Structure 1
Amino acid sequence: MPNLYQSMSQEHSPSPTPERAIYGFVLYLSSFIGFGLYIVWAYVPDSWLHSVGLTYWPQKYWAVALPVYFCVAIILSYIVYIGIILLNTPPLTDIRTVTDCYALYDTPADTHPSCIPPLRDMHISNINKLLYLDNRHVS
């Protein structure tokens, strides 16, 4: 009798099962057949298609227009994605670019002089004091 963990791990396994292999193979074949039909429709003249009995096909304009539309849609999706990221980024004058609610600032009471201090965030005022208010550079 298999235990519950084994049955769950086999059920949700990413390994190729026979059903997935069949679906993948059918998708592989259908994509090649679809691409072949697209090439035939795009390059064979309409008179030849009509002589074979294939009379209802979209205009040849769409053989060029659809791939162009798809490419433009992909490019625009990248532009929109970058725009959304830029809209959600706070400005440089916002305090959220410096700290957040998860910051753990160290206090002098937290550290013992003989110990290695714990890993903590430094407050921006301490950094400014260290960088810009150093008395060695003042004349």
Structure 2
Amino acid sequence: RDWDHSTKSPSFSARDHGPKPSEVYGFVGSITTVIATAVYLAWAYTPEPVLRSLGITYYPSKYWALAVPSFVIVAVALSMAIYMGLNFVATPPPTSFSTIIDENSRERMTFSPAMEEEMPIEPISDISIDQINDLMFGGR
């Protein structure tokens, strides 16, 4: 049968052909960012007499043109340092047994040739410490 454009499938809706909300939000966000950056740079680099001659008399002090970006850079650097420090504090020491095996460890399943059709790829598992020692140190 030929496709009839007047009949619509039950799953068809007007939303199927429009942009997704995430695409719209991304577009609006990128345009807003470009406009905000342009306004910021114009305010930061335009001398005050030029702003006054354009009729712009109410604006923040030029001090904030340097203070806010400096604050943001320092805040990001400190938050990264604090995040790494918290990760170091939360990590068990190398001598802890929990670095070898814990409640989330997965033992290797025995793989039989009969299961090859069902499972061509072995499931993810942890390598035991004995196997790692054999691979790294051999028969020393």
Larger radius of gyration: 1
Query: What letter corresponds to residue 94 of structure 2 in structure 1?
Result: L
Of 69, 72, 83 in structure 1, the residue corresponding to residue 71 of structure 2 is 69
Distance 1:31 1:50, change over 3 A: same
1:89 is displaced (CA, Å) by 0.4
2:35 matched to 1:33? yes
- Counterpart in the other structure of 1:59: 61
Q: What percentage of residue pairs aligned between the two structures are identical?
A: 33
- Give the structure 2 partner of residue 96 of structure 1: 98
Unpaired runs of 5+ residues, structure 1, are 111-118
How far did residue 90 of structure 1 move? 0.5
Once residues 20 and 123 of structure 1 are traced to their aligned partners in structure 2, the CA distance between those partners, rounded to angstroms, is 46
Compute the RMSD of aligned alpha carbons. Answer: 3.8
| Deviation by residue 1:38-77 (Cα, 9 ceiling, x = unmatched) | 1111111112212222111111111111111111122112
User: 2: CA distance between counterparts of 1:120 and 1:67?
Assistant: 45
Which amino acid in the other structure matches residue 54 of structure 1? I
Change over 3 Å in CA distance of 1:46–1:19 after alignment to 2: same
Q: 2:52 corresponds to which residue?
A: 50
1:121/1:70 CA distance change after superposition, 3 Å: closer
Match in the other structure for 2:117:
none
Task: Indicate the SS of the match to 2:95.
Answer: coil
- Which residue identity lines up with residue 39 of structure 1 in the other structure? L
Structure 2, gaps ≥5 residues long: 1-8, 111-124
Bigger helix share: 1
How many residues are aligned here? 113
d(CA) in 1 for partners of 2:129, 2:49: 77
Report SS of the residue matched to 2:74.
helix
Aligned pair in 2 of structure 1 residues 93, 41: CA closer, same or farther (>3 Å)?
same
For normalisation by structure 1, the TM-score amounts to 0.58
- Counterparts of 2:82 and 2:49 in 1: how far apart (Å)? 43
